[in-house]
Structure 1
């Protein structure tokens, strides 16, 4: 991207009021141009394909296949588009998943306007940069995940928590309430568990995880 033209930004969030607020914030900067909006995952991919933005601001929990698949598809059809994840969740497992999918930045929605603008400029001008706006606790968990032997346990800490509660016959709604996450996040974690364990159902995942001693169905439910 040449520095002489404005940075083209697209917004993807299912909350219209939030999108409008971000659009207004970004529009006050003469170096940025908002070129499109979307309210779900497939629409975000279509918008990116049509407008080819420099940066896509993507909410984690929109209707659709999930943020990970959306990021991968956007990066496939628009390799020059840098994806900034905006979320309310300061969660090491989600950070790990989405950075692995190709996100250039992971920012919590409590950041200030100037921080958001600086992040947009940074990822647009330095595509190899990865930006994080997360707590020290989450950074520590990311470090622990990085040093964990994947061959012994392919599941993240959160995926294990979800699977353990599933083994105790908790519903998705009950798991979401206990772990203070949304049902959509629970479903995403279970989908990842199935893929990693090559399982076709909850029962199959529990059976395979128990056989590999990843979980013990008789132990107490994990805390949130």
Structure 2
């Protein structure tokens, strides 16, 4: 029997913690093992429990989420971290991604989106909440022209792989991409694998940033 994904939650808002606990409690294959109300407690609990995934709020007392993220990445690099955010915090999220976060998620996200983000992070991928992906990418310091080697890698992609990369960079899940392109989710996963291999990316965040540098997000697909 496969062990459940062990998740730690850190948020100073007790209502948010209660809501996420209610979402994750019935989720198959996911177990919320610890909760913290500040960044220092999040670090201590991570060292004690060694979760697979940590959900970290950005604005917390004692030690904020960004500082906690950097410390957890230093002490327990195997833990995958998804940052919880709200609108108006794009600059903080950009810092989180640069510090090694596996993605970010809006606090008002639907239950299935939260579960997807956790599973994606645990699988070595990353999740960018669709509603603010483009806003965050626009704020990243990656607007410089892509080097020639990056453009050469993009040229290696098939037309369908380019379509998948653009949709992926907009924060769509494999299932959502499949529905838009009228292909199965399994086919999308294969395309994503090939995109990662050709671009030399390890996760969806890196691929999204690559797409931005290469100018693929300037005109949204129809």
Please give the TM-score of this superposition, normalised by the length of structure 2.
Answer: 0.60
Q: 2:30 aligns with which of 23, 32, 40?
A: 32
Q: 1:104 aligns with which of 87, 102, 105?
A: 102
CA RMSD, Structure 1 to Structure 2 (Å): 1.8
Q: Which residue of 1 is the match for residue 164 of structure 2?
A: none
Q: Which residue of 2 is the match for residue 16 of structure 1?
A: 14
Q: CA offset at residue 136 of structure 1?
A: 2.8
Q: Which runs of 5 or more structure 1 residues have no equivalent in the other structure?
A: 150-224
Looking at structure 2, the residues matched to 117 and 63 of structure 1 have their Cα atoms a distance apart, in angstroms, of 26
Looking at structure 1, the residues matched to 72 and 21 of structure 2 have their Cα atoms a distance apart, in angstroms, of 20
Q: CA offset at residue 89 of structure 1?
A: 3.1
Structure with greater Cα Rg:
1
Q: 1:69 aligns with which of 38, 62, 67?
A: 67
Q: In the superposition, relative to structure 1, how do residues 57 and 15 fare at CA in structure 2: closer, same or farther (>3 Å)?
A: same
Looking at structure 1, the residues matched to 31 and 88 of structure 2 have their Cα atoms a distance apart, in angstroms, of 28
Looking at structure 2, the residues matched to 43 and 18 of structure 1 have their Cα atoms a distance apart, in angstroms, of 17
Q: Which residue of 1 is the match for residue 114 of structure 2?
A: 116
Looking at structure 2, the residues matched to 78 and 137 of structure 1 have their Cα atoms a distance apart, in angstroms, of 30
Give the paired residue count.
143
Q: How does 1:154-169 map to 2 (within 5 A)?
A: none
**Structure 1 contact 90–138 (Cα < 8 Å) conserved:** no
Looking at structure 1, the residues matched to 77 and 136 of structure 2 have their Cα atoms a distance apart, in angstroms, of 28
Q: Which residue of 2 is the match for residue 47 of structure 1?
A: 45
Superposed structure 1 runs of 4+ greater than 6 Å apart: none
DSSP 3-state at the match of 1:74: helix
* CA deviations over 1:41-100 (Å, ceiling 9, x no partner): 100000100000000111110002322221011112222111110111344321221111
**Structure 1 contact 90–108 (Cα < 8 Å) conserved:** no
Q: CA offset at residue 135 of structure 1?
A: 4.6
Q: In the superposition, relative to structure 1, how do residues 80 and 135 fare at CA in structure 2: closer, same or farther (>3 Å)?
A: closer
DSSP 3-state at the match of 1:111: coil
Q: 2:143 aligns with which of 133, 147, 150?
A: 147
Q: Which residue of 1 is the match for residue 128 of structure 2?
A: 132
Q: CA offset at residue 30 of structure 1?
A: 2.4
